[in-house]
Structure 1
């Protein structure tokens, strides 16, 4: 029982962070139709921006968080304005290749400025452990779950209640109709990229605090793809369910079967979902008539 509780806590923590990372992917896809292959690198850049503010510049924690959010927002807006906006109307394959190139560029820039060795930073999440039903669970894992839940809830309220959130939903449903209602589609595109970068920043900081600030954060971000394929490319609730499912499946596989199998099991799920239900569990089935 104690092993199960321990694996459950680790899996929920990883799944919550994955849901945060995948949220940005879904935001971009829903608003702009772009499949962003650089989402993992957004996590990497976000983690290093926070590291720069918190460790290199020695800023207070709150100021470092604000610094990271501002830089992430600027990066998201600049990527949309300078790289993706000129590609509007181009072949989708061309846009996908641009995002793949962007991922390589971001990773190369991080390695050029920070090197490839892991960076250590003072812990920002509570340390220590607690006993739950006989299992010893790290407090930082529980804190990561709580933070991810708060952020995901805040994003959900933003989409449902705020003016800009409703505008994003309108653009996602029908861009032409949104334009006739006076909604600036270009501004919504920039907002989607900015929010995606911010959600990636939070996920990257959590991963960096739990493990270390290094290039493996981008590899962790690759798990976004099984998450969004499972939950649905255009479903925010599906993102949460998909993230938790992949996190738990990966952790239970590592704990009860084989750690090596745990690294590939998310992609096995990805292939199976594509074969059985290509639009995901909660994704919208689109039928195009020609």
Structure 2
């Protein structure tokens, strides 16, 4: 078992990082706040961690990355406070592209198109796993029964939620900030896993990755990103023999999930459990009627 973990450490670390990416998108999709800024904050966290991990140590670098992302996310939330739906999505996509443009253009700091190399590979299963557990715990607590009702009310009808006394403006801002911090956390640990970082890793491809994780797993709770991260991590290994068809398989899988399982694999599992429970309840009743 220990040998298996050692030989698959990078794969497991990737799955943990993907899980945090999924959480950053799940919190906004669950609340109905169509913000895709987590991809941009991923880049901010990644470059901050990559630049500071050697002089300050990985732990301090991650803390600084999260603090910087939190401050910038709060500012972004104030700027886009009046935007909703597609307009909010486009504004946050523009933010992601701005971060990518800075990464390409700021050669002296980010290495430009070549990126950064020789980053200390400080990530371990214990450290990244611990951060993933903390992130999951925070999301689970905020989406618990009481908090979950507020979030669901915001997603369903913001006007109704406001009439019920929910401070929707603050809730929307908090959701954007949490998503940004989670995105920055995923970005901060990624260069510590692979030792390299390029500007092409963030931006729109990361938006597609995050949405794919949530669509496959489900956006109902933190369990969905965990399931989606495992699937997205395992698929390249499964499809290694047909690598040229990987994008086709990804696209087909997403289309099938959207059409036949819009709630993701988590929703399918819940439906199957409810169906089994109904059958178990009906069975004794049918036996009693037969007597």
**Shared fold by TM > 0.5?**
yes
Number of aligned residue pairs: give it: 260
From 261, 272, 281, give the equivalent of 2:256: 272
Is residue 78–residue 173 contact of structure 2 (8 Å, CA) maintained in 1? yes
- What is the aligned counterpart of 1:70 among 67, 72, 80? 67
**CA RMSD, aligned part only?**
3.3
**How far 1:11 sits from its partner (Å)?**
4.3
- Confirm or deny that 1:33 pairs with 2:19: no
User: Which residue does 2:81 correspond to in 1?
Assistant: 85
Equivalent runs, 1:166-245 vs 2, <5 Å: 167-168=150-151, 171-172=154-155, 175-211=158-194, 212-218=196-202, 219-220=205-206, 222-245=208-231
Q: CA deviation at 1:141?
A: 5.2
What do the CA deviations read for 1:14-66 (whole angstroms, capped 9, x no partner)? 23221211211121222243152x433321121112234435xx335443322
Give the corresponding residue for 2:275: none
**What is residue 277 of structure 2 aligned with on the other side?**
none
- Pairwise CA distance, 1:177: 4.8
- The structure-2 alpha-carbon separation of the partners of 1:265 and 1:145, relative to structure 1 and needing over 3 Å to count, comes to farther
Q: Which moved more, 1:177-186 or 1:64-73?
A: 177-186
Secondary structure of 1:33's counterpart equals coil
Deviation at 1:8, TM superposition (A): 6.2
1:136 aligned residue: none
Q: Is the 8 A contact 1:117 1:214 kept in 2?
A: yes
Q: Give the structure 2 partner of residue 108 of structure 1.
A: 101
Q: Secondary structure at the match of 2:143?
A: helix
8 Å Cα contact 1:40/1:221 also seen in 2: yes
Conserved in 2, the CA contact under 8 Å of 1:250 and 1:265? no
Q: Deviations over 1:83-113 (max 9, x none)?
A: x22323xxx3333332332221121122222
Structure having the larger proportion of residues in helix = 2
Larger C-alpha radius of gyration, 1 or 2?
Answer: 2
Segments of 5+ residues of structure 1 without an aligned counterpart are: 126-139, 285-290
Q: What is residue 47 of structure 1 aligned with on the other side? A: 46
Aligned counterpart, 1:135: none
TM-fit CA distance, 1:4: 8.2
Using the alignment, how far apart are the partners of 1:259 and 1:281 within structure 2? 24
Q: 1:46 to 1:283 in 2, by over 3 A?
A: farther
Determine the C-alpha separation between the residues in 2 that align with 1:121 and 1:205: 12
Question: Normalising by structure 1, what TM-score?
Answer: 0.74
In 2, are the aligned partners of 1:11 and 1:244 still within 8 Å (CA)? Answer: no
2:286 aligns to what? none
Greater mean alpha carbon deviation, residues 260-269 or residues 199-208: 260-269
Match of 1:122 in 2: 120
Contact 2:224 2:265 in 1 (8 A): yes
Report the alpha carbon displacement of residue 267 of structure 1 after superposing the two structures with TM: 3.2
- How many angstroms apart in 2 are the aligned matches of 1:59 and 1:7? 29
Q: 1: CA distance between counterparts of 2:14 and 2:74? A: 28
